Amino acid sequence: MARAAKARYPAQRMARRTNARSVRAAFFTAFMLALFSTAALGLYQYVNDSEYFRVTTIQVDGAHLLRAADIVAAAGVSNQDNILFISPSAIAERVDANPYIKSCEVTRTLPDLVRISIEERYPVATLLAHNRAYEIDREMTVLRRLPPQEPNTGPLISQVAEMGAVDPGVQLVQAPLRVAIQVWEAFAETAMANEVTVSEIAAAGVNEIRMYCNELPFEIRWGRDDVRQQARNLDVLWRQRGPELPCTEYLDLRFGQDLACK
């Protein structure tokens, strides 16, 4: 009986020692975690409050149509911000909300520089839809709704069917509209474009594009096939005959070299 009791005592003492070591290890771990957390919090507060990392310069690259000040305002960054804690992707997303912005990239340079690099969309024409005028770029992105008294940007493109909703920032997909823009860009490269003013392009269909010029009594009819060649044919004819063209109703460019004049 005495032997059995003696045999149990060493085991009990070992268990107590193990428990004591576990308690000390747990206390040490908790102490170190608390110390690390306190140090991390102190470091965070120091960095956050440090003037060294305050944003002092916001550089805007690529702004030609838009004002740099407006882009900075849209970015939502100021000298109250710490450069380490701002999100370049969030800034780019806010700037991208402007329909005139095609792309935006934001980078940080320590200790205090934020660079906003943008690519702008340029208006090329005015779309008439639902009795309202909208400025659009060559990729058919709606940039803004024009006030009633403001002059059109480029020619007025009308009669585009099935427009649906037209809102700033929306990219349209109507094929006749795409052809109308291609026609306008091709015509703008001709010598004739320096002598006449295109007032309207009616785009009822991809092969039914009608251009109206202020100085001409007739419409110019275009089709979807190789509009640049049609523009060259028109330019050659204009160089040869100019305002003396006998057309009174239309000049049709859709039949290759055989231009139809009525």
Q: How confident is the model over 124-174, as pLDDT tens digits?
A: 999 999 999 999 999 999 999 999 989 999 999 999 988 888 999 999 999
**Inter-residue contact 97 to 74 (CB < 8 Å):** yes
Rounded Cα gap, residues 62 and 45, in angstroms: 36
- 202-232 pLDDT, tens digit per residue, is 999 999 999 999 999 999 999 988 999 999 9
What value does the mean pLDDT take over residues 167-196? 96
Per the confidence metrics, is the pTM higher than 0.95? Answer: no
- 231-253 pLDDT, tens digit per residue, is 999 999 999 998 889 999 999 99
Task: Give the model's pLDDT for residue 1.
Answer: 46
- 9-52 pLDDT, tens digit per residue, is 565 666 555 565 665 666 556 545 655 555 444 444 545 557 88
For residue 5, pLDDT over 80 is answered with no
Question: What residues contact residue 120 under an 8 Å CB cut-off, 6+ apart?
Answer: 62, 63, 64, 65, 66, 100, 101, 102
Q: Among all chains, which residue has been given the structure tokens 């044919």?
A: 233
